[in-house]
Amino acid sequence: MVSSNCSTEDSFKYTLYGCIFSMVFVLGLIANCVAIYIFTCTLKMRNETTTYMLNLAISDLLFVFTLPFRIYYFVARNWPFGDILCKISVTLFYTNMYGSILFLTCISVDRFLAIVHPFRSKTLRTKRNAKIVCVAVWITVLAGSTPASFFRSTNLHNDTEQKSCFENFSEDTWKTYLSRIVIFIETVGFFIPLILNVTCSTMVLRTLNKPLTLSRNKLSKKKVLKMVFVHLLIFCFCFVPYNVTLILYSLMRTQTWINCSVVTAVRTMYPITPCIAVSNCCFDPIVYYFTSDTIQNSIKKEPVHENTGHQILRKASFRKLHSTQPSDCKNENI
């Protein structure tokens, strides 16, 4: 068997997880509580973009609440909380990860519509439609995450009384069950959103680089470029390493990939990439900050007269198209 011929020491992961998850718990709890407070109490009105961001913050906070249990497990190397809580913890881990990916994708698509098709997308970019999309996202991620509750998640360590949580599954379990879950969540939760994020960001950059757009507000263009860059950077940094490694790990566990050097590399990287992935709970509030003027003003304690989320995009889009539209076109909620 590959796993026996290419053994790799990965006990370092428990110390690594304990340290990283502790930092994510503190920073993520503070940042997302502040974000939710701003979304629900400070903003007098919410648009479609802030609707996506509020749901993203809720997803992050739900996962953060499970971290103390995971931290104890990594430090004690024992899961005393029972099978049900293990299932909930694992379900919320994947719900948060792929919920974050899909909500970030919604923000990216919304930005694309606001800049590239500002007038044609007026009927699509509404708070009602945003709420419908958010419900669809929650249903999708729960459908992909809850199958973890269909089988026993806790296992005894080798002839000891210590229990592991969602670890040490057999090759048969991977071949018959887990590999199918990986195929679904990677297709729906990673590859399709990745293509959408890259495509939408590319189209936005192309639109901003057109001569007509370049001749308009350079400050607005600079802010939008910074917004797109931060969004893509966080998306790729947090989610690409883990999902690529998960695919390779699944191939390894199902004996599809038997190259020993690759197996060793994957077994080394697999414990590291979840630490990068969970850091999205801390980085998502940065997306909120760069995406919404209102949040920047709230943090700076400047007066906020209206909900200006994506206001820059709307102004830039209107200016870009104003010269090509009839004079009676008004800058409505585009």
The helix/strand/coil state of 155 is strand
pTM beyond 0.85: the answer is: no
Q: What is the pLDDT of residue 300?
A: 58
State which residues of the chain have pLDDT below 50. 1-3, 214-215, 302-310, 312-313, 316-334
Q: What is the pLDDT of residue 54?
A: 94
Q: What is the pLDDT of residue 201?
A: 93
The helix/strand/coil state of 309 is strand
Q: What is the pLDDT of residue 45?
A: 73
Q: What is the pLDDT of residue 292?
A: 66
* Domains of the chain by residue range: 47-60+81-151+172-319
pLDDT tens-place string over residues 214-267: 445 665 777 888 889 999 999 999 999 999 999 988 888 887 766 788 888 888
**Half-sphere exposure of residue 272: CA atoms within 13 angstroms, side-chain side:** 11
What does each C-alpha distance from 311 to 8, 49, 138, 167, 324 come to in angstroms? 52, 11, 27, 46, 21
Q: What is the pLDDT of residue 60?
A: 95
Q: What is the pLDDT of residue 250?
A: 87
CATH homologous superfamily, domain 47-60+81-151+172-319: Rhodopsin 7-helix transmembrane proteins (1.20.1070.10)
Query: How many angstroms separate the CA atoms of 331 and 333, rounded?
Result: 7
Q: Read out DSSP for 241-262?
A: HHHHHHHHHHHHHTTS---HHH
| Tokens standing for residue 292 | 């919404």
Q: What is the pLDDT of residue 330?
A: 38
Nearest to 134 by CA among 122, 144, 142: 142
pLDDT tens-place string over residues 59-84: 999 999 999 999 999 999 889 998 88
